[in-house]
Amino acid sequence: MLTRIITRSLVRRRRRKLLSLAAIALGIAAATAVATLGLDVGDQVSRELRSFGANIEVVPAADGLPVTVGGVDYRPAAAGAFLRENNLAAIKGIFWTNNIVAFAPFLYAPATLGNRHVVLIGSWFDHPIASDKQHSTDSAHGGAGPVARTGVRDLHPGWRVDGQWPSDDDPTSCLVGTTLAADEHISTGSNLTVTNAESRDGADDSQYTCRVAGIVDTGGAENDQILAPIAAVQKFAGQPGAVRKVDVSALTKPEDDFARRDPSRMTPDELERWSCSPYVTSIAYQIAQAIPGSVARPVFPVAESEGRILGRIGALMLVIALAALVTACLAVASMMLATVIERRDEIGLFQSLGASRTRVAAIFLLESSTIGVAGGALGYLAGSLFAHRLGSAVFGVPAAIHASLLPAVLLAALIVTWLGSAVPLARGLNVPAAVALRD
């Protein structure tokens, strides 16, 4: 009997039912799109923010007081401690290897170009590297598996190069900063010779000659310097295999109070939970453990800026989702109020036949719940499709369809329906049966 009553009620007054269905579907579609983008937008926004530069810096633990200006180390090449280049593959072997977007080592060698003092910077540009895990897996299978490529091209996607990037395999190619190129009238294809004032006269490594592959504009101190493959700079500085520092770009989540705690004072359970969260501090901690004799420290101005941006985007999405759900709730309330007013005689008849208020409310709530579930399902499909296309338009990568959202979306649709039906239904049930039937 109950099923027949509800079925006939849904069939009648189809226009108002469809309006309620559309209101719920639109609200749920907006909430679903925001939730879908929220699950994917964090990584996408973080990747876009990686153009800000590295958010983790790795330096030797025994290093002395650095002399840096604009990120360039101006100490003599022989001063201070060094990391070893052959240990850097361990960065791709940590737990958060998939969060490491890019990294590059740097070695600085003071030099002279004519009468001008410059710094010759050695680094990777597009360097192949395999993690320790990949090495062991490849050896077990007796072959060379896929390797990742990293370097300043990926670490600093905002750097603009007029010409070509140098090849790591060609020690005679280099990049020249825009300021230096303009002052010294250097163009792409020119040959440069710089002198190492620290070397003995006549030594093989006292000079370095390179062909300018491109002119680079970094917006920083590198605009007045020369960048070359690190192997060439190591030879020029007389420091084979040496690295002054490593800049790492990693996808992280905004830090909270738990992220700022000292890991040495955590319990084993707390340390495990902290290590399994992609905080910039926890990733830096694992990198320092992976590279012997190193200290990894977050670049807090970059990390905190990313955290603030991601936090504000998350808050904005939450407000949009709540606004959409509240709007749907108000629309359902208005539809339900009109329905209750229109069906007061039906409510009075149910009550005069002995039906309790709970039974009458259950009939109306079952009707609205059916509409809510249908609207939630339609809203989920529409919202997922909209998020898919919006992700492609904004980030160039379509947002994935998350089936795990469907139960939460249907529950949200039911809650919106129940909240919207509560007040109109309560008012309708408070009307005495005799008054409703008389009217």
Express each pLDDT in 189-240 by its tens digit: 989 999 986 654 444 457 899 999 999 998 888 899 999 999 999 999 888 9
Between the CA of residue 110 and those of 168, 237, 253, what are the distances in Å? 21, 9, 38
For residues 1-13, give the mean pLDDT: 63
Q: Is 423 left (phi over 0), alpha (psi -120 to 50) or beta?
A: alpha
Counting other chains too, the contacts that 273-279 makes at CB distance below 8 Å and 24 or more residues apart are: 275/95, 276/95, 277/253, 278/96, 278/99, 278/250, 278/251, 278/252, 278/253, 279/252, 279/253, 279/255
Given this model, what pLDDT does residue 120 score? Answer: 92
Between the CA of residue 315 and those of 319, 383, 412, 434, what are the distances in Å? 6, 19, 19, 51
Given this model, what pLDDT does residue 225 score? Answer: 92
Give percent above pLDDT 70 in the chain. 73
Q: Residue 130: which residues within 8 A CB-CB, separation 6 or more? A: 89, 92, 138, 145, 147, 148
Residue 134's pLDDT band, with cuts at 50, 70 and 90, is: very low
| 216 neighbors 178 (Cβ within 8 angstroms) | yes
- Which residue, 80, 112, 89, is CA-closest to 239? 80
Going from N- to C-terminal start, the domains of the chain cover 2-44+308-438, 55-298
Residue 139's pLDDT band, with cuts at 50, 70 and 90, is: very low
**How high is the mean pLDDT of the chain?**
79
SS3 7: helix
Q: Strand 72-73 vs strand 68-69: parallel, antiparallel, or unpaired? A: antiparallel
Sign of the four-CA dihedral 181, 186, 188, 191: negative
SS3 267: coil
Quickly tell me which residue has 């800049």 as its tokens.
247
Higher pLDDT among residues 344 and 334, named by residue: 334
Given this model, what pLDDT does residue 207 score? Answer: 87
**H-state helical runs in 158-277:** 178-184, 230-237, 268-275
Max mean pLDDT range (44-48, 313-317, 413-417) = 413-417
For 116, other C-beta atoms within 10 Å of its C-beta total: 12
Q: Number of H helices and number of E strands within the chain?
A: 13, 16
Quickly tell me which residue has 């977007």 as its tokens.
101
As a whole number of angstroms, the distance between CA 251 and CA 281 comes to 12
Phi, psi dihedral angles at 95 (to 5 degrees) = -60, -40
For residues 104-126, give the mean pLDDT: 91
Residue 178's pLDDT band, with cuts at 50, 70 and 90, is: very high
SS3 122: strand
Higher pLDDT among residues 134 and 19, named by residue: 19
Residue 182's pLDDT band, with cuts at 50, 70 and 90, is: very high
Q: Strand 56-60 vs strand 245-250: parallel, antiparallel, or unpaired? A: antiparallel
As a whole number of angstroms, the distance between CA 331 and CA 27 comes to 10
| 221 neighbors 69 (Cβ within 8 angstroms) | yes
Report DSSP state, residue 197. Answer: T
Higher pLDDT among residues 192 and 15, named by residue: 192
For residues 23-34, give the mean pLDDT: 85
For residues 260-266, give the mean pLDDT: 82
Residue 389's pLDDT band, with cuts at 50, 70 and 90, is: confident
Burial class (CB in 10 A: 0-12, 13-18, 19+), 171: buried
Q: Residue 124: which residues within 8 A CB-CB, separation 6 or more? A: 104, 105, 150, 151, 152, 168, 229, 230
The span from the first CA to the last CA of the chain, in angstroms, equals 27
As given in the structure block, the two tokens for residue 143 are 């072959």
Given this model, what pLDDT does residue 419 score? Answer: 83
Stretch among 27-36, 148-157, 233-242, 348-357 having the lowest mean pLDDT: 348-357
Q: Strand 207-217 vs strand 173-177: parallel, antiparallel, or unpaired? A: parallel
Report DSSP state, residue 219. Answer: S
Max mean pLDDT range (43-47, 118-122, 217-221, 303-307) = 118-122
Higher pLDDT among residues 306 and 195, named by residue: 195
| 193 neighbors 209 (Cβ within 8 angstroms) | yes
Q: What is the pLDDT of residues 66-84, one digit of tens each?
A: 555 555 555 555 556 889 9
| 287 neighbors 261 (Cβ within 8 angstroms) | no
Report DSSP state, residue 196. Answer: -
